[in-house]
Amino acid sequence: MKPHQEQEEDEERLRQRKLEESLEIKSLRRIISAYLNYPEAAEEDVKRYERSFRKLPPSHKALLSHYPLKFQSLRRCISINSYFIFNMLQAFEPPLDMSQDIDDCGELHFERPPDDGNVCSHESTTARGSCSKLDEACCGEPSNVMSKLEEGLTANEEVQVEGCHGSDPGSCLAGEENNKRAAECCGNHVSDSNGNVLSSPRDWLDPSFQLHVPLVDVDKVRCIIRNIVRDWALEGQKERDQCYKPILEELNSLFPSRCNKSPPTCLVPGAGLGRLALEISCLGFVSQGNEFSYYMMICSSFILNQTQNAGEWTIYPWIHSNCNSLSDSDQLRPVSFPDIHPASAGIPEGFSMCGGDFVEVYSDPSQVGVWDAVVT
């Protein structure tokens, strides 16, 4: 038998591990809740726009007579974005048991984030060594690291909607006939085009598991929607050429003679939605993307593993900002993705995505000498 002191130490380690895992489940539940809260938060924005519009004098309303129709179009765009989000969550396989009782962890304490305009920079914990491949998943041990969760402050002021002349409020519905997956969303209940409510096979998507999260969490969801355009839409090709092409050219010059039997290996920390890691793999590398954010991982896993065709999904990424749009038709412009079908992109064996803190995952002795190149 173990000495009494060793038994106590083992019990303490087990207790600490369970506590940290429970905290991580709470973190993941909060992230899932942020996705589920997207339609409700977006609807509140539209209602705020409507209240501001009603406060205008009649002469000003006459100048913006197209706004009521625009508000209807915004709601339709929100419902289509929500339909994609809900399908993405249905396909997500959590690396942790989300049904565990976590009441003994205490309450979540939301902290105010640093004064940073980049809502994507304050991300939450992920599973250590949790990896996914195309058509295959391999999950390692869950992380024992719990990052702090931040909360933004909700402004009480009414916000005036910025208008544009020569706009086309109905452009939000352009291409709707080609998007058979378009759906109506009311709160967290998503229905198909026939009005049938879609039931979720995931117990952890049940409303009883949903948390009321601060708006800064929902802002991260909106950021993910915009990032989809950069990584997985034709509209993002120019930016990808500017950012990714020099990296791909440099890898080509550093490894001019690549052998299929023993291809060079490349690690991509901060892989985001996985497009750069996939492009590197297509060059003939064994490529692994590493990402810390569950917001990113949930979305990248869906695009890489679940999409069936190029252009399968449609989103409206620009509807949450009134800046940098010349007209309403720009703001309500649909974007189809992915521009390529990942499983048909000619990726050699060995491409994977690994979730977790970079230092924690890759400081393991088993990682020494594994990677020929690291791309950041």
What pLDDT does 100 receive?
64
What is the phi/psi pair of residue 122, to 5°? -110, 85
Position 373 scores a pLDDT of 97
62/13 Cα distance (integer angstroms):
68
> Residue 238 domain-assigned?
yes
Q: How far apart are CA 364 and CA 23, in angstroms?
A: 23
Tally of CB atoms within 10 A around 200: 13
- How many C-beta neighbours within 10 Å does residue 234 have? 15
Q: What is the pLDDT of residue 70?
A: 97
**pLDDT value at position 133?**
52
The whole-angstrom separation of Cα 280 and Cα 277 is 5
CA–CA distance, 273 with 277 (Å, rounded to integer): 9
Q: Which residues of the chain have pLDDT under 70?
A: 1-2, 99-205, 207-209
- Identify whether 5 is part of a domain: no
Pair 25, 135: CB distance under 8 Å: no
Residue 54's identity, in one-letter code, is R
Question: Can you say whether residue 195 is alpha, beta or left, with left for phi > 0 and alpha for psi between -120 and 50 degrees?
Answer: left
Domain-located, residue 6: no
Model confidence pLDDT, tens digit, residues 31-73? 999 999 999 999 999 999 999 999 999 999 999 999 999 999 9
Q: Is 23 exposed, middle or buried (0-12, 13-18, 19+ CB in 10 A)?
A: buried
For position 168, what pLDDT does the model report?
44
Closest CA to 260 of 342, 346, 344, 349: 349
Residues in Cβ contact with 54 at an 8 Å cutoff, skipping those fewer than 6 apart:
none
Q: Could you tell me if residue 4 is inside a domain?
A: no
Residue showing tokens 């979720």: 200
The answer to whether residue 2 sits within a structural domain is no
Give the chain's domain count.
1
Least Cα distance to 345 among 243, 277, 247, 289 occurs for 277
| pLDDT (0 to 100) of residue 230 | 96
The conformation of residue 211, written as its DSSP 8-state character, comes to -
Is residue 7 domain-resident? no
The predicted pLDDT at position 54 comes to 97
In a domain, 20, yes or no: yes
**CA gap 120, 367 in Å, rounded:** 28
Under DSSP, the state recorded for 51 is H
Q: Supply the pLDDT for residue 209.
A: 66
Per DSSP, helices labelled H in 92-236 are 215-232
Range of the domain at 142: 12-374
